[in-house]
Amino acid sequence: MVKDMLKEKAGYILSNLLSKGGTYGEIFYERSRTCRMHLEDNRIDRVLWGVEEGVGIRLIKDNKTYYGYTTEPTYENLLEIAKALAGGSGHGPVAIGKKYILGRTDCLIDIDLVDLRYREEILKRANDAARSYSDKIKQVQVVLMDKTREVMIINSLGQLAEDTQKRVVFFVEVVASDGQILQRGYESLGGMGGFEIFERTPPEQVAKKAASRAVLMLSAKPAPAGNFTVVMSAQAGGTMIHEAVGHGLEADLVQKGLSVYKDKLGQKVASELVTVVDDATLPGHNGSFTVDDEGVPAQRTVLIDKGYLVGYMYDRLSAMKDGKESTGNGRRQSFMHIPMVRMTNTFIAPGKENPEDIIKSTKKGVLVVKMGGGEVNTVTGDFVFEIMEGYLIENGQITHPIRSAVLMGNGPKALMDVDAVGYDLGWSIGTCGKEGQGVPVTDAQPTIRIRNLLLGGTQV
């Protein structure tokens, strides 16, 4: 086995890698098994099943990264890569056997022990539930993906870490029509673990939620335009905190001057009601793991504490540059990619207020229940987000749904304008993209109220 060979030969490979100098050397092994099934037009039209195995080798020298990888991880190939990265052969200082970490994902219904028929039934159940919800449902798309990812990291510091990660991701997208307009509804489910996730939340429940959202939006009124108080429901998940704030707290972007939070450690950057945390230790969530892709144990990192910026997220390289320790945020899409600073499970911590009271005390505003896609400028903090499901609030009452609405604002200013935080907490899963790499994440927030955001709509 490749892993056994690496454990035996890692010292020789790393010694050659550091033979011409360097701060840090690393071997990253990965073997992943992925199944993705896609249902559309009442039939399963795509099934993708594959296994991928490879090894990446990284050298950090003078705060620069040198990287190579192979899908044929023999000792000879890896030694050649190490010599090529080093610029020659020889022997460099390497520590062996100082620390060992072993992690795995616990599953009640193991994704590696069920057949395609089991997966097919999940898709069909969701499709039937969505279509039976209303005769206005015209299109249904269901996707189920499960992945087992086995990684091993051996580095020149004498650390060896192994982790087996199992994830399930499931989403349903529905299109409804009343003969004049089309509206879309979307709902997703997923996280670390096995197919027991559908014991807790049946596929029918996910499908009906997507269908109900699409049908509801058919009766929605065009969104007004202007400045409004915005109540963001916990159901909206943490899209805004992830995009408008989270990326700006990644140390590599801060160091490049691409973050609005540069040089603001210790300063007040949000309302005193706001605490922001990134936590990869939470069991069952999509962004969780035992060790990151640099072998650093998962951690809970407080980024903003009661309004004050107290820290950034670090990987090994950015931590070296700042004289810090990694916060366990070094992640990569696969062995073919270099690790970089990435979020894991990022959220605004719950407050003390009743979510219903937050709405009742809002005289005029907008309630956001589901966010769509968006864009953010990490340098300025400016953002634009689609509202997939939203409502007007009038005199403390939720009145009617709105459509064709977008939220526009500035991340730091929006956090400063938070004047209420609920005691609930809602999660949403996703794949975060950065510099061409995608990694699984989870975002969350309680119900929060922001005093002033610009709503873009079609009715003035």
Confidence of residue 176 (pLDDT cuts 50, 70, 90): very high
pLDDT band at 95 (very low <50, low <70, confident <90, very high): confident
| Distances from the Cα of 31 to the Cα of 83, 86, 305, 389, angstroms | 24, 26, 38, 39
CB 259 within 8 A of CB 379: yes
pLDDT, tens digit, for every residue of 292-350? 999 999 999 999 999 999 999 999 999 999 999 999 999 999 999 999 999 999 999 99
- Which pLDDT value is given to residue 99? 86
The reply to whether 333 and 353 lie within a common domain is yes
**In the predicted model, is pLDDT for residue 375 greater than 90?**
no
pLDDT for 275 equals: 98
Which of 218, 235, 257 is where one domain is finished? 218
| pLDDT tens digits, 255-282 | 999 999 999 999 999 999 999 999 999 9
Q: 454 pLDDT exceeds 70?
A: yes
Average pLDDT over residues 107-124: 96
For residue 172, the domain's CATH number is: 3.30.2290.10
- CB of 147 within 8 A of CB of 166? yes
Do 334 and 449 share a domain, yes or no?
yes
Same domain, 167 and 55: yes
Which of 171, 196, 218 is the C-terminal boundary of a domain?
Answer: 218
**In this predicted structure, what is the pLDDT of residue 44?**
96
| Phi/psi-derived region of residue 158, left when phi > 0, alpha when psi is between -120 and 50, beta in every other case | left
Query: Do both 159 and 232 map to the same domain?
Result: no
Angle, vertex CA 197, rays to CA 193 and CA 203, nearest 5: 145
Residues 275 and 137 in one domain: no
Q: Which of 172, 188, 218 is the last residue of a domain?
A: 218
Percent of the chain with pLDDT strictly greater than 70: 99
Say whether both 241 and 102 belong to one domain.
no
Both structure tokens of 213: 């959202």
Residues β-bridged to residue 340: 331
Q: What is the reported pTM?
A: 0.95
Tell me if residue 162 falls in helix, strand or coil: strand
Residue 299 has a CB neighbour count (10 Å cut-off) of 17
Q: Tell me what the mean pLDDT of segment 133-137 comes to.
A: 98
How many CA atoms within 13 Å lie on the side-chain side of 448?
32
| Mean pLDDT (whole number) for 435-439 | 97
Q: What are phi and psi of 402, to 5 degrees?
A: -125, 155
Q: What is the mean pLDDT of residues 359-384?
A: 92
Give the amino acid at 206: V
Q: What tens digit of pLDDT does each residue of 31-60 get?
A: 999 999 999 999 999 999 999 999 999 999
> What is residue 303's predicted lDDT score, i.e. its pLDDT?
98
Q: Work out how many domains the chain is built from and give that number.
A: 2
pLDDT for 239 equals: 82
Looking at the structure, do residues 339 and 328 belong to the same domain, yes or no? yes
Q: At residue 460, does pLDDT exceed 60? A: no
- Same-domain pairing of 266 and 392: yes
pLDDT at 34: 98
For all residues of the chain together, what is the average pLDDT? 95
Indicate if 168 and 279 belong to the same structural domain.
no
Distance CA 35, CA 117 (A): 13
At 457, the pLDDT band (50, 70, 90 cuts) reads: confident
pLDDT digits (tens, 9 = 90+) for 218-264: 999 999 999 999 999 998 878 888 888 999 999 999 999 999 999 99
| CB of 192 closer than 8 Å to CB of 283 | yes
- Give the separation between CA 73 and CA 335, rounded to whole angstroms: 11
Same domain, 213 and 236: no
For CA atoms 117, 118, 121, 126, give the dihedral sign: negative
Percent of residues, the chain, with pLDDT higher than 90: 90
Tell me: pLDDT of 127 over 80. Answer: yes
Same domain, 160 and 246: no
Where is 82: in which H helix or E strand? Answer: helix 75-86
Per-residue pLDDT band at 459 (split at 50, 70, 90): low
Q: What is the pLDDT of residues 192-211, one digit of tens each?
A: 999 999 999 999 999 999 99
Domain that includes residue 287, residue range = 221-456
Residues 213 and 225 in one domain: no
- Which residues in 72-181 belong to E strands, given as ranges? 95-104, 137-155, 157-177
